[in-house]
Structure 1
Amino acid sequence: MNYTTQMDAAKKGIITKEMEVVAEKEHIDVNALRQLIAEGKVVIPANKNHKSLSAEGVGQGLRTKINVNLGISKDCCNLDGELEKVRTAIEMKAEAIMDLSNYGKTEHLRKKIVDMSTAMLGTVPMYDAIGFYDKDLKDITVDEFFRVVEKHGEDGVDFVTIHAGLNKETARIVKNNPRLTNIVSRGGSLLFAWMELNHAENPFYEHYDRLLDICEKYDITISLGDACRPGSINDATDPAQIKELITLGELTKRAWERNVQVMIEGPGHMPLNEIKANMLLEKKLCHGAPFYVLGPLVTDVAPGYDHITSAIGGAIAAASGADFLCYVTPAEHLRLPTLEDMKEGIIAARIAAHAGDIAKGIKGATDWDNAMSKARADLDWEKMFKLSIDEEKARRYRKESSPENEDSCTMCGKMCSMRTMKKILNNEDLNI
């Protein structure tokens, strides 16, 4: 039986090879997974042209996934450096990579990533349009916008962020409800500017069926972008954000009618006490579609440490229903991240995702923690290193401060509680 997309196959009762891979990774029944995909509650972003992909599922009942942003800019145009980030991100178990290149002819880098990446690849075609055509934003035509989306599909991109919910009505609400930080989404701000300059409707909203045609053709998952995500805690959960979310819910249903898979993007900067409610709002207004969040960053005052502000919010978001976390690095708001910045961002996001999985009871999530706790009780340092989320750092820290007794560390020495309990319970000489 033929099918066009993973959702089309799921509705027809077909088990695809990608579903089998995801079911094995998640230790769940493949038919249960197929049903969730048919309902739109799980997506498997898997472009037909991405041959190196190791499929991942995003959504209800699955492990929280993380995404790594990278890409070149006019000020930092090092292709080899970005490809090294891709290799490192995959080694560090990131499930997704977004190429956010916004300078020059980006096709070469994008194709390189598709060829080498087992992780799913996302892009924001809006970023590419200006460099692709080498013309002013105002002068880019509707046809040209869609030609870029088609090109990304041809190249093998698995999911595209499209800010289709920023229509004229949402733009009116933005203007009538002033924010501290206006529209902070780069793609959203460019679309807003294009609409204002041309006195026109958002082409991705007005011609949404044309977008669905492209996504159905290549099985691209639409990541419905949050142009109005809050860029400060002051702007969180405001009229523009909620209006856009309602529109995204409507667009989700239209995509599902065409068997196009959908994720919803979310905040942004947000106080701790608003995160849980926002996760509930998204799931309600967008009919259970997977939720992909940037952070949320829970304070605005920590440049240089925003991987931490993001991890705090990300853990709460994941515990409250978010399915996919976009990492944030220490360089957020400051500069293009280095390789080391990326590593710190990945670790922080993975910690947040795993903490969320424990809280929402994902099958097998606590097995890793229990194994680590057992190794600590046994003072099995080698096993502790191997179970560490960052093995290299754990080994380096211990090596940098060697204890007198190998079964302890330099924090407690012979007064180590694990050492004391192990020896007492085994009737061994304590010798403190």
Structure 2
Amino acid sequence: MHHFEEELTCSICYSIFEDPRVLPCSHTFCRRCLEGVIQLSNNFSIWRPLRLPLKCPNCRSVVDIPATGIESLPINFALKAIIEKYQQEDCSDVATCSEHHRQPLNIYCLLDRKLVCGHCLTIGKHNGHPIDDLQSAYLKEKENSGKILDQLTDKHWSHVCLLMEKLKEQKSQCESVIEDDKKVMAQYFKKLGDVLEHKKQALLAALDEINTRILEEYKPVIEKLEKMREEQLELMSLNTSVQKEESPLVFLEKVDDIHRRIKALKQKPLPDFKAVEIYPRIGHLLKDVWAKTEIGQINKILIPKIELVPKRKIPGKSGRKEGGEPKELCQAVNPLAVLPLLIIVVVTVFSFHKPVSSVVMEAAPTYISEFLLLSYQGFCTHLQNIEDVLCHMFNSLMEFLGRAVSF
């Protein structure tokens, strides 16, 4: 607190003097404070005298105030000048009230345990609260600092620490579980990725192998036809040049040679080649088998052996898609009822038709292996729907029997 502040403070409002007025007893108070004291005294008087008696709040002596009121009391100009000079100085080290301009916080409110100014006690929200001076409040709180320490070290804080440790332990356990799950997830998807990559490479290898076989099948035939085409173009060019020959003898000899070469070229037999197709198709396999397989069962799917098979001829007038009739037939007939009949048909063919059966046995390994492979894959992926599996077997068996009879 500034060393002049106590002398500049009104003993009624405990604030810096505002418009200081001097009583006849030489004590100084704020004009507004004296008006409040007189008003309080008049509340108990039933008549208004010519001169107002006032008991000095400091010395308790009774002084007479003229009827004109506090305005007739002299102003303490010396004190007012000191206050104005004091307020003009930089008093940054003195805490002031935020609600009352430039009023120092020099009183301690015991109820709210807060520093307040004199205006807060007289006209502010702390009016009527028990108070104490700043130094006394400081000494009392200093003596009671041990109680504060006791409040900060009682059992409540031990419970807080225990709860904090439990929460940290639970948090650590949850984080550990998450880390374990991350490892398991990484291992699972790595294994799944390895399986898929292995299957992918196997399918690519199968496609590369069949591509090599296609090259072996088609390249010699195409090269032979290309040679015939080159010879044709050569004869056409030779004929054009011969037409320009003016010598009859030379012209006739060359034309005769061209005729002989054309005849020989046309008598060359064209390559005997039957159209083939790729079976099974990887796209159909991925759509019909892989897409319907559970992720955990993908590693059990066998990689098919892709073959080049004779291309099936489809009548153009039917307007049906390939495989339409077997599918419709399968939908019309219950596969569970037809399966015993199919077994009987196969046994009959092999028992009573020796020529056919011998031919079938020669062609059987490829088609039977395809049939068994498709059946196995169908069982692995469609166990939930037996009818779909049997339909698939029925179509494969009908195709097998059709090829066998065609031999």
TM-score (norm 1): 0.17
Structure 1 or 2, whichever has the larger Rg, is: 2
Q: Indicate the structure with greater helix content.
A: 2
Larger RCO of the pair (alpha carbons < 8 Å, separation 6+)? 1
